[in-house]
Structure 1
Amino acid sequence: MSGDPALELVRCAAAVGAAIDAVLDPLAALGRTAARHLPAPGRRSSTADDLAFLRPSIHALLREGPAGLHGAGVVAQPSHPADAAIHLEWWEREGGLLRPRPSNLDLHDERFSDHPRSPWFTVPRDEGRGVIDGPYVDLHGDGLYVMTFVLPVDVDGAFAGVVAGDVAVNTFARPIVPVLRRLGGAAVVTAEGRVVVATTPEWAVGALVGDTPPPGSHMERIAVSTPVAQWRVLRSVRDV
């Protein structure tokens, strides 16, 4: 590693924050569009026509948005607790084509069917902030590690649903890796300690990393400043 270690940690945290913002900024634009077209909570549940009106904006996000974005859409809040339907408009990018998520898959996909109790939906609903879910293996895609970036949508000051996008971890990591390598053995981890990207095979993507360093070493860390993710950059340093 070259340069001042503390400064390199700061630079790496800034690079991670910039990569997160590169996904959230266009997703926030989709959220503003959704807020103009979804019904106010309590009046009625979103209809297929309400959600279909957002389709061109979702398509534009997938075609022109951040690299590695291979799925995006809107999940609306039901108007009544007894409404068990999935109010969803979700599209995926497959090569140069866009395809909708099949409705029969929605009903059996736990990530969507159980969304009223899933953190990616309850955190935006109950805390009014975005969240990043993952990394996890996308079993309905190419088997890659992905993360889901989620932002709340408010209509008339009340929670109306979320906008979300699935991003491939390997693509998300590309601008981070060169900066991370300057730290030597290092990793970016989530609040739960799950590895997002690392420069050492000892820390595999998706693995859980504790705060206890390997024998004969100590851990340096810095928080990534972002309201949607309490991530950290970790650096393992061998004791002299």
Structure 2
Amino acid sequence: MTQALATGADAIALRVAAVIDPVFALIDGWQQELERLLADDPEPRAADLDPAIASTVAAELDRAGTLITGAGFVAAPGYLADAPWHLAWWLSDANTFRPAPGGGIRRLEAVSDPDSEAFRDYTTLEWWRVPERTGTRHLTGPYVDYLCTDDYTVTVTTPVTVGGEMVGLVGADMYVARLEQVLLPVLREATQPCTVVNASGRIVASTDAHRATGALLRLEGLAEMLAPVRASGGAVAPTDAATLPGGATVVPCGDTSLALVVE
């Protein structure tokens, strides 16, 4: 790996991180706000909590140029006295999943009755399971989100904790297509083909038209390099650029759990 290539890749990786970091910061702020709110409520109820969630996320969902297409709070089963299973999730006007007449911000209509055939246990999904296991923020995707977007999506979730117990998650959805619009101009500044992958090696964006979004990037040594990030749910990030056996350079994109691959 030449010094010039390392320097160029480092700069691009930092710019990729700069796209994602504001979303992380936003969700961290929501987490802190919700933890303060819930800490003062001995018997939280969905009827009281939902307006607060809507007020918290509405400004960002309505902001021109936002990357976020959905956001909110997902409660741990049994936590809310009046809603054993509960998604307090709102969708932006840019979210095309079951659009409401007239557009604007709208509530996700989720099935919360476990006896219904349409019910889905969200605690089995990656965006819930990994933060529950690691206690830290997690980036899931790209994946087809049949619950909230019905399209290729990246979801960022982080635990909400009260009294040392995880009572739910706060998070946000981003369309991969929208992420590509922002990331591709950055990646195209490199003279070599560039691909951004998640901790599992799945492609988020690439300047190589043969690299399909959501597909695994199969390069010798890549899976092994990303293994610690994958095992930790993204809580551990690779700290240094590395060269794969085939000559590709891999550079971590800050602490986003994403990595830049320059071939």
Per the normalisation by structure 1, the TM-score is 0.80
Q: Which amino acid aligns with 1:30?
A: W
Q: Report whether the alignment pairs 1:137 with 2:144.
A: yes
The residue aligned with 2:253 is 224
Unaligned runs of 5+ in 1: none
Cα 1:105–1:203 shift into 2, 3 Å: farther
- C-alpha offsets along residues 117-163 of structure 1, whole Å, 9 cap, x if unaligned? 32311222221110111112344667542111111112233322111
Q: How many residues align?
A: 226
The residue aligned with 2:15 is 15
> After superposition, where does 1:12-161 map in structure 2 within 5 Å?
12-38=12-38, 46-64=45-63, 67-79=66-78, 85-95=84-94, 97-104=104-111, 113-139=120-146, 143-161=150-168
Quick one: distance in 1 between partners of 2:26 and 2:206? 26
Quick one: distance in 2 between partners of 1:188 and 1:9? 11
Given the alignment, which residue of 198, 203, 207 partners 1:190? 198
Quick one: distance in 2 between partners of 1:61 and 1:40? 25
Alignment partner of 1:187: what SS?
strand
Question: Of the two structures, which has the highest relative contact order with CA contacts closer than 8 Å and spacing of 6 or more?
Answer: 1
Quick one: distance in 1 between partners of 2:163 and 2:64? 27
Quick one: distance in 2 between partners of 1:106 and 1:26? 31
Q: Percent identity?
A: 28
Quick one: distance in 2 between partners of 1:161 and 1:142? 20
Alignment partner of 2:22: what SS?
helix
Alignment partner of 1:89: what SS?
strand
The residue aligned with 1:235 is 262
- C-alpha offsets along residues 43-83 of structure 1, whole Å, 9 cap, x if unaligned? 65643322333221121231138623111110112347xx9
Alignment partner of 1:178: what SS?
helix
